[in-house]
């Protein structure tokens, strides 16, 4: 298929803000790609499935070079156009449009297959001399592209398509195209089936293909392939927790670590994934060792928390103390000794060839106890009580806080496991500190003594895949390097993610999640969420979390009392 057809779809999507209209446009296009299901990735600006975390590795600086070389102009001219238009995609459309008018350079038809082939080569290129090869692959596409195609190629390589297609809209388009529901009840039924299939597969191409062939139920959990974790809403207090999950209930420590899904395949290979679906097996060789020597099973998927502790005092440490291990690729042995972890296992969703997601939690917990040989400061079961007594829970709650943990999890004993869902099968109980996990979507360059740093950060919540701003936050980071998180460190990270620039303001790819503490929430027409956080403060960087883990608009509304 010609890439121009896809670009027509992009343009139509970009031209409307209505979710139902976007769904209709997508559903119509899906009918044309049933024989090429992987094209569906491009509808969200990706070239791989969501579970595949290979990155294209193209910064806006490299995109500027590629545009300049393709158009035969200097980087400075591209940068000037970028400052004026604020969108490198539009810059490519403009400067290449002029070039092609002058030289009649545009002669061949660009195919979707060619675009995907070139872009999929980018993550495989590493080491000295590969930057020019990467730029060359992009230039090759730009030389064959029309101006409009060039715009979307650049937006795709930068990970910012700007067409407003969240996972919910794409899911609904699959429902419309494959099932053609005749009423609201049918739509809800099929939407739930498609969502459940996606949460197991994290691959829209597989879901689309199976939905259209009537084989959705053939999508199964499979060790070795990351799956979305079940998410937990907040409870106001112990009574509220019981109201949501029922009596009696299990209450477990809510550990101040980071979530990991431990997979053991039938061939014996162990893989570790974060809740962002990123593989971190190499970063945590001790976890591999713990499960190989302490878990009796041919294959499994365990849901667990990696918790840091002080090797001398044996006291638990907070998340920030071990967070740097998540992205560390070198010096692993040194990091192990400096920041040891204990694995606290709290759920199992696959065991010896069988999915357990429909098995009641009480039974899943009994199985964990049966197959795991506990050894303190290596691998343990999450500390748990089962009760219907408020006073007993409150005593256990205090014990968790004294052990330097975040609080408690309250869990229904009869509930299944819902990958990717934030449902009332389990809730979290934390001291009332009024905070949300939010993603940074923009920032502003500082002035005065903070000149040269990004010092004010736009933060956003989610609403069915769409990101909505809920305010700016400029406190909580350290001005001196060496603090928990300095302005310089945050600036270095965000510099790699810039996709738009307007004067002192930038917009970035939504990849950095932070915990933002606030005093209260108020309605505000200034931000797209309709709300603003009063006196917000960044308290921690959440290396382990992605956009799928941030607070939802529904949670914001609930906390605001709406």
pLDDT tens digit sequence for 473-510: 988 887 555 445 788 889 998 988 888 888 889 999 99
- Across the range 160-182, mean pLDDT stands at 93
Q: 383, 243 in Cβ contact below 8 A?
A: no
User: 302-358: per-residue pLDDT in tens?
Assistant: 999 999 998 889 988 888 778 878 777 788 888 888 899 999 999 999 999 999 999
Q: Distance (Å, rounded) from C-alpha 154 to C-alpha 156?
A: 5
Looking at residue 307, its pLDDT comes to: 94
Residue 113's contacts (CB-CB under 8 Å, 6 or more residues apart) are 1
Q: 279, 234 in Cβ contact below 8 A?
A: no
- According to DSSP, residue 31 is labeled T
Give the CATH fold of the 46-157 domain: DNA ligase i, domain 1 (1.10.3260)
Cis, peptide link before residue 195, omega less than 30° from 0 = no
CATH numeric code, 435-560: 2.40.50.140
- Across the range 21-47, mean pLDDT stands at 96
Residue 107 pLDDT more than 60?
no
Do domains 238-429 and 435-560 share one topology? The answer is no
- According to DSSP, residue 216 is labeled G
Q: 362, 414 in Cβ contact below 8 A?
A: yes
Classify each residue of 163-176 as buried b or exposed e, where b means 16 or more C-beta atoms within 10 Å of its C-beta: bbbbbbbbbbbbbb
CATH numeric code, 238-429: 3.30.470.30
Q: Which of 22, 210, 254, 378 is catalytic?
A: 254
Residue 449 pLDDT more than 60?
yes
Q: What is the mean pLDDT of the chain?
A: 91
Residue ranges per structural domain of the chain = 46-157, 238-429, 435-560
Residue 225: active-site member: no
- Neighbour count for residue 452 (Cβ, 10 Å): 12
Q: Distance (Å, rounded) from C-alpha 231 to C-alpha 549?
A: 8
Q: 159, 57 in Cβ contact below 8 A?
A: no
The DSSP H or E segment spanning 366 is helix 361-371
Higher pLDDT, 397 or 503: 397
Q: Distance (Å, rounded) from C-alpha 61 to C-alpha 78?
A: 10
Looking at residue 177, its pLDDT comes to: 96
Q: Which of 464, 491, 476 is nearest to 548 (CA)?
A: 464
The DSSP H or E segment spanning 154 is helix 147-157
Return the minimum-mean-pLDDT range out of 159-163, 476-480, 539-543.
476-480
- The pTM of the full predicted model, rounded to 2 decimals, is 0.81
């Amino acid at each position: 298929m010609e890439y121009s057809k896809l670009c027509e779809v992009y343009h139509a999507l970009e031209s409307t803000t209505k979710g139902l209209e976007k769904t209709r446009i997508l559903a119509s296009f899906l009918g044309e790609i049933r024989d090429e299901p992987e094209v569906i990735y491009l509808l969200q600006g990706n070239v791989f499935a969501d579970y595949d975390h290979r990155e294209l590795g193209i910064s806006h600086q490299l995109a500027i070079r590629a545009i300049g070389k393709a158009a035969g102009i200097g980087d400075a001219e591209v940068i000037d156009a970028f400052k004026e238009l604020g969108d490198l995609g539009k810059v490519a459309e403009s400067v290449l449009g002029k070039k092609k008018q002058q030289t009649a350079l545009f002669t061949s038809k660009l195919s979707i297959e060619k675009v995907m082939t070139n872009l999929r080569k980018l993550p495989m290129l590493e080491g000295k001399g590969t930057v020019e090869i990467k730029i060359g692959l992009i230039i090759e596409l730009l030389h064959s592209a029309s101006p409009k195609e060039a715009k979307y190629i650049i937006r795709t390589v930068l990970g910012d398509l700007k067409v407003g297609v969240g996972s919910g809209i794409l899911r609904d388009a699959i429902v419309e195209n494959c099932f053609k529901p005749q009423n609201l009840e049918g739509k809800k039924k099929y939407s739930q089936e498609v969502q459940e299939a996606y949460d197991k597969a994290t691959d829209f191409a597989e879901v689309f293909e199976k939905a259209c062939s009537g084989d959705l139920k053939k999508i199964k959990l499979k060790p070795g392939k990351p799956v979305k974790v079940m998410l937990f809403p907040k409870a106001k207090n112990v009574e509220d927790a019981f109201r949501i999950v029922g009596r009696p209930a299990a209450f477990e420590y809510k550990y101040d670590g980071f979530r990991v899904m431990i997979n053991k395949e039938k061939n014996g290979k162990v893989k570790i994934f974060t809740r962002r679906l990123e593989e971190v097996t190499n970063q945590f060789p001790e976890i591999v060792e713990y499960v190989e020597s302490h878990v009796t099973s041919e294959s499994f998927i365990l849901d667990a928390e990696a918790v840091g502790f002080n090797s001398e005092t044996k006291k638990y440490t907070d998340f920030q103390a071990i967070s740097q291990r998540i992205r560390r690729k070198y010096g692993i042995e040194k990091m192990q000794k400096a920041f040891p972890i204990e694995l606290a296992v709290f759920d199992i969703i696959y065991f010896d060839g069988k999915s357990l997601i429909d098995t009641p939690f009480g039974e899943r917990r009994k199985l964990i106890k049966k197959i795991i040989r506990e050894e303190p400061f290596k691998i343990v079961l999450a500390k748990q009580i089962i009760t219907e007594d408020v006073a007993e829970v409150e005593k256990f709650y205090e014990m968790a806080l004294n052990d330097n943990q975040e609080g408690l999890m309250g869990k229904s004993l009869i509930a299944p496991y819902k990958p990717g869902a934030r449902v009332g099968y389990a809730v979290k109980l934390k001291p009332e500190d009024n905070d949300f996990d939010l993603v940074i979507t923009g920032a502003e360059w500082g002035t005065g003594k903070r000149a040269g740093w990004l010092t004010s950060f736009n933060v956003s919540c989610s609403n069915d895949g769409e990101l909505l701003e809920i305010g700016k936050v400029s406190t909580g980071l350290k001005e001196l390097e060496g603090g928990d998180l300095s302005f310089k460190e945050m600036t270095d990270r965000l510099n790699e993610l810039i996709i738009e620039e307007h004067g002192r303001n930038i917009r970035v790819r939504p990849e950095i999640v932070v915990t933002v503490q606030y005093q209260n929430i108020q309605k505000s027409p200034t931000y797209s969420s309709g709300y603003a956080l009063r006196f917000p403060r960044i308290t921690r960087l959440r290396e382990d979390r992605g956009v799928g883990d941030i607070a939802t608009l529904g949670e914001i509304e609930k906390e605001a009392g709406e």
